[in-house]
A and B are shown apart, each in its own frame.
Chain A
């Protein structure tokens, strides 16, 4: 058992740190006395900057993407032959950990994390050729169309219909929670190609230009008053048949492959720890004037959150241990997701509690907002974390049945 880096790991960590120190654009660097926040939020991040109306934000996004691309680090996990960095799991882990330590935004979004790896495994040579390089150059951003109003946790009951018509499919239906579709150029989606087949076996994985005629992206404003996700409507959208990834009606399994990529949750653990450090700094200075008088209970709750963050770190280290030993995590990834998201919610609750009535203030620029109202924003922003990527109820089912061998209900 060893919580420290081997000499090679330490060397790689130094390399990542040095790179960030040199190349991370100034606007992306944490400012003293300001909260960097937990996670990148829904409406923010690199993807939003890339399409921003503000030329400075666009330039910053481009600068960072170029720096990463020059280093070959846009897609740390992809094999080298596809233009990735081909990093080992432990190197990816260190890379992700250090990027999170520096609060550096990740580049490439779902193209890098989901669509690319799927194409690498299941894509045709033409699909790989057309799309992988454009993800790596930051030229094309992707959004995911899986959920539907009637297909959430029970995703396989999705109804969006694709009917073959010559060399094309004609798509009709609706997707929901399409995060970042308003920044995206292309969409990957699960659609039903055989309504007669058992529900998991009539689904296909399809990719399409988001500007296709008949495809409409409509904003869905979240309870934090942000535009992060959307509703996406399909009215006779025509997609070339060659845009199926993998075999027709095997899309469920194609889609599931990508869910097996790195889920250690290390970025979350890092940001929670960093957030607590920032809060402590603030409390020892001007933050005192916002702090509730009767704060001992909150103080001890904060200690609990720090302890729980350690537990989350260890859960992340466990995942990378398993992968580094050449094994595949089983229920462990679900433990990370469940524990991490619930910790996120507890943490933001505890942090905002420290400010008493000042926790009301939502306006980040108000002089009455402690730490730019970061904690109360996070209190709202963390709500969906126990819901997306497989609700925590589904995750617990997975732990119990797949992990512990309990009979399915």
Chain B
């Protein structure tokens, strides 16, 4: 029993923090909000050189072969620095599904390229129904041998406009089916939505789009279950890093901002908000790592499942409370575009909603508790 990081994780955390403080300062985050692609190919390559894209990928496929808890240590740092771009998309929406469902040939073809940052993947899961369950998959797939033809609209697909491949969940006569779909074809049209986080979520219209099977026809939803679990926990880790930084900025501000002749951080009204913030951030961190540990150590399926739902239910609300306090402590200046705290507030909402907010996961927890 031990809830601390091991030496390797400490090293990973410290080197990532140092790297991102240099390479991904606030100015970069702001630039990418206005950027058409939403990420810097230069930084993307530097991250790949750090071995980050292939952290989870086994060495035989060109990765570093770290485990899922290690991966969360890194994602926490990405959240802290608000790293813009398709990292989550490519790793959790690309490498992970291929690891879970891909053939040996697909693993050999794609994983080394993902690890090297040479290709970008994204997962096209949700549709205009905005549901997270199996019934939400309504795009039509027609399968012929290894080839899949897809028609339909996927919505809120992150980074589809810069992705080389999408992993599309669609429905054939045999059920939900996954396909690897190259984006550079006439049948794939991605349109970027303007979002609160100024990230790049897209509407993707698939019109006789051609792809190849990932896993067996009709086996897609089962294959997606572990992918969605990991992606969900990764969103929690991102939220933990984001909330930690928001909290640190707010505490620093409370120490500096003077009113009535004293730092506002000396007032109990502010102190108690800060105490609640650290409680929420720490609570988020441990419940996230508990879920990550359940996955990494192969705990029984039922335990892992509820651990993931509990983590997302808690992290979604706790980090929302944190960023709300962060804004309140900053007063008027926090509401300006120029001041940094709002960057965190807006991005928290995206990750809160991703893969279901607290209401969604709370219901699943209730069901699994037998309530």
Contact = CB atoms under 8 A, between A and B. Distances in A.
B290 A400 contact: no
Interface in B120-146: none
Nearest to B267: A409
Nearest to A6: B1
Interface in B166-195: none
Interface in B240-277: 251, 254-255, 262-263, 265-268, 270-272, 274-276
Interface string A310-341: 11001101101100110000011011001100
Contact of A396 (B276, B283, B365): B276
B320 interface: no
A63 interface: no
Nearest to B368: A303
Contacts of A93: 1
A22 interface: no
A1 B275 contact: no
A283 B370 CA distance: 10
A357 interface: no
Given A321-B3, A407-B255, A407-B262, A315 B286 contact: yes
A291 B46 CA distance: 59
B310 interface: yes
A26 interface: no
A366 interface: no
Contact of A280 (B2, B292, B370): B370
Interface string B347-371: 0000000000000001101100111
B333 interface: no
A93 B310 CA distance: 24
Interface of B: prevailing SS: helix
Nearest to A9: B1
B3 A314 contact: yes
A389 interface: no
Contacts of B262: 407
B1 A5 contact: yes
Given A5-B1, A321-B1, A339-B279, A406 B255 contact: yes
B287 interface: yes
A406 B272 CA distance: 11
Interface residues of A, number: 51
B313 interface: yes
Interface residues of B, number: 45
Interface centre among B265, B275, B313 (most CB of A within 10 A): B275
Given A304-B362, A321-B1, A393 B272 contact: yes
A18 to B, nearest CB: 20
B266 A407 contact: yes
B5 interface: yes
Contacts of A308: 314
Contacts of A335: 275, 278-279, 282
Interface string A366-405: 0000000000000000000000000001011101110111
Interface in B132-166: none
Contacts of A300: 362-363, 366
Contact of B268 (A1, A317, A331, A409): A409
Contacts of B293: 1-3
B370 to A, nearest CB: 6
A293 interface: no
B297 interface: yes
16 contacts: A300-B366, A303-B362, A306-B369, A308-B314, A314-B3, A315-B286, A331-B278, A396-B271, A397-B275, A399-B279, A403-B275, A403-B278, A404-B251, A406-B251, A406-B263, A406-B266
